[in-house]
């Protein structure tokens, strides 16, 4: 009786857990293992290769495009993660002051780009920024005096990709900041007002310390997210002009899918993987500090 109870329970657990675990092992765990394994071979994209030890890594570190991509990835993260966090905070401070329906409406206006597919976002911005007919060229001309083909200019390209990325994703940051701001009890501000605190003082003494944890959360989420940039770059610049927007994932794509160097591509993927694990550990530590305090 008890034995069959136990067997029944075991069967139930297996039936419940197996679908997830099997899919996990096949399309997740195995590819993680395979990524490492491939990176030590000279395999083409399709087919087997031979063990070559650290050759792929050594070659990589002597390749100029690798350093360019590393540098550009860092540059992009800096251009997107930090401003995206600050803009999200600034907008949240403005939106949170609104009330009722007006607030919901404004929130929708800021948030709607976030749910658009990336190719829709890039299609829209290619039109808005079109060198000849783009409406945004009117604004650009205010600064430069002439229209600029922004995605074909090595100086403009990366900042503009970052700009489009911020427009696309800021809604999410805004949402997190608004949630945090709404959690601050109103009486804090009332007390501060009674004490004659100015708006700036109230922000520095109440708002800032209380939303600091969310700020670090948003910043590290952004950091991890933007290290994985591929879609917008591929659709807007394809890494150009003159490799000025070449990033790590684009290099993985190039080595793997364009040049059919499965092994070399995996080596780059491993490096990206390690960078992201490091960033995630950093985030985990920051979150733990936040929970503890």
Stretch that binds another protein, among 17-25, 55-63, 65-73, 148-156 (CB under 8 A): 17-25
Q: In angstroms, how far is the first alpha carbon of the chain from the final one?
A: 51
Identify the burial level of 260 via C-beta atoms within 10 angstroms of its C-beta, where 0-12 means exposed, 13-18 middle and 19 or more buried. Answer: middle
* One residue of 51, 61, 109, 155 binding another protein per CB under 8 A: 109
Shorter beta-carbon distance to another protein: residue 75 or 114: 114
CB of 120 to another protein, least distance (A): 4
Task: State how far the Cα of 283 lies from the Cα of 293, in Å rounded to an integer.
Answer: 15
- Interaction residues for another protein, span 26-55 (CB under 8 A): 26-28, 30-32, 34-35, 38, 45-46
Task: State how far the Cα of 225 lies from the Cα of 245, in Å rounded to an integer.
Answer: 17
Nearest to 262 by CA among 35, 63, 70, 28: 35
CA distances from 36 to 168, 252, 264, 265 (A): 33, 14, 11, 11
CB of 115 to another protein, least distance (A): 5
* One residue of 51, 54, 135, 190 binding another protein per CB under 8 A: 135
- Interaction residues for another protein, span 230-289 (CB under 8 A): 230-231, 235, 249, 252-253, 256-257, 262, 265-266, 269-270, 272-273, 276-277, 280-281, 287
CB of 180 to another protein, least distance (A): 8
Crossing angle (nearest 10°) for helices 157-182 and 118-128: 120
202 binds another protein (CB under 8 A): no
Task: State how far the Cα of 213 lies from the Cα of 290, in Å rounded to an integer.
Answer: 6
Stretch that binds another protein, among 55-63, 69-77, 119-127, 201-209 (CB under 8 A): 119-127
- Interaction residues for another protein, span 154-193 (CB under 8 A): 167, 172, 175-176, 179-180
């Amino acid at each position: 009786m008890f034995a069959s109870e136990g067997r029944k329970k075991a069967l139930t657990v297996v039936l419940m857990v197996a679908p997830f675990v099997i899919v996990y092992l096949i399309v997740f765990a195995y590819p993680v293992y395979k990524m490492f394994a491939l990176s030590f071979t000279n395999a083409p994209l399709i087919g087997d290769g031979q063990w070559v030890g650290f050759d792929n890594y050594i070659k990589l570190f002597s390749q100029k495009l690798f350093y360019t991509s590393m540098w550009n990835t860092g540059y992009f993260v800096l251009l997107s993660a930090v401003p995206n966090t600050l803009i999200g905070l600034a907008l949240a401070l403005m939106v949170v002051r609104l009330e009722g329906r007006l607030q919901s409406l404004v929130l929708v206006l800021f948030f709607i780009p976030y749910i658009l597919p990336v190719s829709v976002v890039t299609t829209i911005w290619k039109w808005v920024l079109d060198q000849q007919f783009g409406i945004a060229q009117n604004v650009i001309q205010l600064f430069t005096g002439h229209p600029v083909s922004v995605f074909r200019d090595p100086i403009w390209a990366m900042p503009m990709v970052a700009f489009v990325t911020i427009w696309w994703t800021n809604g999410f940051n805004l949402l997190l900041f608004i949630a945090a701001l709404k959690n601050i009890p109103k009486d804090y501000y009332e007390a501060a007002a009674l004490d004659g605190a100015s708006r700036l003082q109230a922000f520095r003494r109440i708002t800032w310390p209380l939303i600091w944890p969310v700020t670090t959360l948003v910043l590290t989420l952004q950091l991890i997210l933007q290290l994985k940039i591929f879609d917008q770059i591929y659709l807007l610049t394809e890494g150009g002009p003159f490799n000025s927007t070449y990033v790590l994932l684009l290099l993985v794509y190039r080595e793997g899918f364009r040049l059919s160097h499965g092994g070399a591509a995996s080596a780059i993927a491993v490096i990206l993987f390690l960078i992201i694990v490091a960033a995630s550990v950093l985030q985990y530590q920051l979150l733990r500090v936040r929970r503890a305090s």
